[in-house]
Amino acid sequence: MDYRIIDKDKYYRKGVYRHFTEDCKCSVSMTARIDVTDMVSLSIQRNTKFYIDFLYVLTKVLNSRDDYKMSYLWQSDQLICYDVINPTQYIFHEDTETCTPVYSRYYEDYETFYRCALYDAEKAKQTREYGLDPENHPNWFDASYVSWLSYDSLNVELPDGYLYFLPIVNWGRYREENGRLMMPLTVRLNHAVADGFLIANVFRLIEKELIAFTEEMHTKDND
């Protein structure tokens, strides 16, 4: 786990940061539908799990900008930026109707990420322990699939004044709309490190990366 300390006086959002860490501690959550038609088709063709394919794209996008890798060290009152953030996926157990957090690592190479994330998920199916361990996984962000519903809105609440800066991302079942498969995606970030533009930009970057990813995979398969 490596990070750099951000000089608050030189931070390009220092005015916003001060306001939303001192005067108005709050977060912002946005939900929108994204087109996953081509990626679903690709996953079916390649016999891969769409869930993990999307998790890869999501994690790659969040690692592409420092704004999405920020954190706050309350012990030293320091604003930091991690070199890399990793996804915490969740495995649902049908028999107990409970979830197990799964700490997977981000690898830029898709094949490595897919193999390791799939192994992590399969291993988690063998336990029923909750196993949440944030102290030993500080640079992991929540990435949770709400598989039972194609929802229209979702909001994650945190304690008032709690300066949690890492992204919290949820997505639901995709559904057909006008011949396309549209999937609800919710992104929550603390207002101190992200405004409407930065949160909306996650959706824009994911849409671009979905296109790039499917094109890259098709090219590899056709070589």
Q: Is 174 left (phi over 0), alpha (psi -120 to 50) or beta?
A: beta
Helices (H) and strands (E) in the chain, counts: 5, 10
Please give the helix or strand (H or E) that residue 113 lies within, else none: helix 110-124
Number of domains forming the structure of the chain: 1
Domain ranges, residue 99: 3-222
The domain that contains 198 carries what CATH number? Answer: 3.30.559.10
The pairs formed by 96-99 with CB atoms below 8 angstroms and a separation of 24 or more are 96/128, 98/128, 98/130, 99/130
pLDDT score at 223: 78
Mean pLDDT of the chain: 96
The pLDDT tens digits of the residues spanning 62-82 come to 999 999 999 999 999 999 999
- Which segments of the chain have a pLDDT < 50? none
> Is 0.75 topped by the overall pTM?
yes
CB-CB contact of 168 with 141 (8 Å): yes
